[in-house]
Amino acid sequence: MNYKGKPPKYSSYYKGFKEVTLPEAKYKGKLTPALEEELKFLRSQLDRFEEDYFRVASSQNSTKRKKAREDLSLFVNKLRREGYSL
């Protein structure tokens, strides 16, 4: 990657979101229910776009698939940096 200093913490996709912190003792190392649902949603979205891509190969499906894969990987990397075990 070609950036100087610290890598960017979030992509522009997450710029408008507000972070919600819950008590550490209750969810130490585990995903909160809200994070689990978001992870489930991103995974299902990627699965759906991959099915569409392999059924009908088109540039629009390819773009959606790439975006869904990028969103999922950014979200998972963010969680791993914060110390969550997946």
- Residue-wise pLDDT for 31-62, tens only, equals 888 999 999 999 999 999 988 888 887 777 88
Q: Please report whether residue 6 resides in a domain.
A: no
3-class secondary-structure state, position 83: coil
Under a CB-based contact definition with an 8 Å cutoff, are residues 84 and 31 in contact?
yes
Number of domains in the chain: 1
Q: Please report whether residue 42 resides in a domain.
A: yes
Q: Summarize the confidence of residues 70-74 as an average pLDDT.
A: 94
Q: Please report whether residue 53 resides in a domain.
A: yes
pTM of the model: 0.62
Q: Please report whether residue 67 resides in a domain.
A: yes
Q: Please report whether residue 68 resides in a domain.
A: yes
Q: Please report whether residue 51 resides in a domain.
A: yes
Question: What range defines the domain where residue 44 resides?
Answer: 29-81
